[in-house]
Amino acid sequence: MKKLVSLLIVPGLFLTFGASAQSTKWVKTLDEQVNCKKISLQESNLKIVLESGEKKVLPQDEVLLYCTGDQIFKKLPIYIDKLQKEVFMEFIKARDELSLYKYTVETKEKIMENRYFVYKANEFYIGVGDGNREEYEKYFFVQLY
């Protein structure tokens, strides 16, 4: 009888705690952080659907970072064609003072290509390429490419 009661209680607890979990999708702007049901990145805007169902369009200039549930994207400075821009990069891993990020670009051949960068306190530290890839894979305990 005790086993039957515990078999009924344990799944009930999982359902209760699972239903009360907070949203894992969110956007942090200059002014606030909001939980979302849906996030989509457009050319210069971030379209979001709030948990209330309200739809909003946020200029990318106002967004600092956002989370899609399993990935965190942070706006960081990068040089593209000798011009400094701020782009959203996917956070991969941090160790000590360094953080590893992935930036996906579309090549001239229309192929999506991942590029990896290391930042130290939000400042560009080094790009990860064939010459140093193995070193940073060992440092961050990851496999890239």
- For residues 76 and 1, which has the higher predicted lDDT (pLDDT)? 76
Q: Which domains does the chain have, with CATH numbers?
A: 22-70 (2.30.30), 71-145 (no CATH)
pLDDT tier for residue 23 given thresholds of 50, 70 and 90: low
Distance CA 65, CA 101 (A): 13
The residues, ordered by sequence, that sit 6+ positions from 141 with a Cβ below 8 Å of its Cβ are 93, 95
Q: Which residue has the higher pLDDT, 69 or 6?
A: 69
User: What pLDDT, in 10s, does the model give residues 36-61?
Assistant: 999 998 888 999 999 999 999 999 99
Predicted confidence (pLDDT) at residue 124 exceeds the cutoff of 60? yes
- CA-nearest of 136, 138, 58 to 102 is 136
pLDDT surpassing 70 at residue 105: yes
Q: Does position 28 have pLDDT exceeding 50, yes or no? A: yes
